[in-house]
Amino acid sequence: MAIEIHVPVLGESVTEATVGKWFKSVGDAVAVDEPICELETDKVALEVNATASGALTEIKVEEGDTVGVGALLAIIDETAHGKTSPTPTTPKADVAPAAAAPAAASDAAPAGGVRASAAKIAADKAVDLSKIVGTGADGVVTKADVLNYLEHGATAPAAAAGSNDTGSTVVADASPREEVVPMTRLRRTIAKRLKDAQNTAAMLTTYNEVDMTQVIKLRNQYKDMFEKKHGSKLGFMSFFVKACVQALKEIPEVNAEIRDDAIVYKNYYHIGVAASTPAGLVVPVVRDCQDRSFSDVEKEIVRLGGRARDGKLGMDEMQGGTFTISNGGIFGSLMSSPILNAPQSGILGMHAIKERAMVENGQVVIKPMMYLALSYDHRVVDGKGAVTFLVRVKECLEDPQRLVLDL
């Protein structure tokens, strides 16, 4: 019996996606719930799973094609027995065309694998795939990589060196000076949203600094006990989430948004925690942080971060945030001005903790300091509110007992 695989519902207001890559080729065996392809939407990359076991007999769309919700992707024959692929990312049909290249070309496929569309072009143009460095996930060679190689790097490395008429050696630059790689749908959406935020909001940033001594001391004192009891490590982010909730309760406009001609104040605290992934920046949301304990916050951040890195975040896990925290400090950033995550009115930027000389009671002492930055929409938040918000966050972090006592 033939089973049709269609594009699933992609989420609220999302009507189309781009076919990112096929994990299976025509003739491959598939099992129920096994991923057969990946779709890229404006917000996430998601896998489409087989709804039946059998053999993949037809693929209806190519990698890079745009498809709408409900579009036919592939057909599975439940009565057939297909061949088994070596790995999900390197189907046999993907690397087979490399063997059809001229004898002068190497038969070795790139370690990261080859997408079917890339292999087809390479076979048609007699391109040696082993000479192409893949830019896809895990080093997979994409269609864009092959096209770029044909345009800029078609000279074989063996011909890179030679002699001119004067007898001197001439070394050619075999690598292209520029690479043209099409933006993914997710990257295009990130770029558009960031620019829209700059164009729409009256964005301003205020700064402060916080002494992290007490948080570090408390974390070091209880981190082993915390992990033993709750099964998760005690990080810094849970302190910042809880401190922001305290500050947002006092300065509600930072937790608000403009909707039409009204300001909507929210009495719940869905905190977005920005995460960097190979596909781009995503902001999964930790919901109802006002009702969560430190351990609940830590576990949810770890869970969402893992799903973000694996490209498995659902649309519902990234929608509905009321405030965002971005931690550039993990990459070494000392200070930056984060861009608002529209339609939110505030975003807190964390940065690297650095020991600095500070004056305390007339004495110079060394303290672990962090710069904080709050970018806010001045249409909603006045300067006084923004500064007060940062001061409250600073007070909670420099005296973390406030968080326990809800002060």
Catalytic residues: 378, 382
Q: How far is Cα 281 from Cα 276, in angstroms, rounded to an integer?
A: 5
DSSP code at position 399? S
Q: Is there a contact between 315 and 309 (Cβ–Cβ < 8 Å)?
A: no
Q: Token pair for residue 53? A: 């076991």
Bridge partners of 3, per DSSP, are 76
Q: Is there a contact between 40 and 89 (Cβ–Cβ < 8 Å)?
A: no
Sign of torsion over alpha carbons 399, 400, 401, 403? positive
CA distance readout (Å), 268 to 74, 124, 264, 297, 311 = 43, 58, 12, 15, 27
CA 22, 14, 306: angle at the middle one, nearest 5? 60
User: Which positions ≥6 away from 11 have C-beta within 8 Å?
Assistant: 41, 43, 314, 315, 316, 319
User: Which positions ≥6 away from 310 have C-beta within 8 Å?
Assistant: none
Q: Which of 376, 380, 405, 403 is nearest to 392 (CA)?
A: 403
Q: How far is Cα 175 from Cα 185, in angstroms, rounded to an integer?
A: 27
Chain centre distance of CA 305:
9
Bridge partners of 188, per DSSP, are none
Strand ranges for 239-316 from DSSP E: 256-259, 262-265, 271-273, 275-277, 280-282, 285-286
Q: How far is Cα 40 from Cα 112, in angstroms, rounded to an integer?
A: 20
DSSP code at position 361? T
